[in-house]
């Protein structure tokens, strides 16, 4: 059964990764990156990195569920933007704390 869905899954992943560079240039995705970055830095002021990741991830996920109900719907590319912002914030926070 699994092997029969493998070509479909490979095609879906290929399509996702072909669209990713284009989608990440959209204004909305850039907002997701920027907001997640700053929220992560803010969270790092009050908690450790794993908790900061978890809190900001949940905020982004809650925003997507809000969009399902009241907005344009769930967008996996928005979540990718959130991950990019979170990991950038974690790296920036680690770099700053290493310098201090």
Encode pLDDT of 43-91 as tens digits. 999 999 999 999 999 999 999 999 999 999 999 999 999 999 999 999 9
DSSP 25: T
* 40 neighbors 93 (Cβ within 8 angstroms): yes
Give Cβ neighbours of residue 34 (< 8 Å, ≥ 6 apart).
85
Angle at 62 between CA 50 and CA 13, to 5 degrees: 80
Q: Residue ranges of the domains in the chain?
A: 21-99
Other Cβ atoms less than 10 A from the Cβ of 26: the count is 14
Residue 1: pLDDT over 70: no
């Amino acid at each position: 059964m699994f092997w029969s869905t493998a070509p479909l899954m490979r095609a879906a992943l290929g399509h996702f990764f072909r669209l990713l560079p284009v989608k990440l240039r959209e204004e909305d995705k850039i907002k997701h990156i920027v907001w997640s970055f700053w929220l992560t830095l803010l969270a790092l002021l009050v908690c450790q990195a794993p908790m900061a990741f978890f809190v900001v991830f949940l905020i982004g996920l809650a925003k997507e569920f809000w969009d399902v109900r009241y907005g344009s719907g769930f967008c996996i590319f928005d979540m990718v933007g959130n991950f990019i912002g979170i990991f950038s914030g974690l790296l920036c926070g680690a770099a700053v704390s290493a310098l201090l």
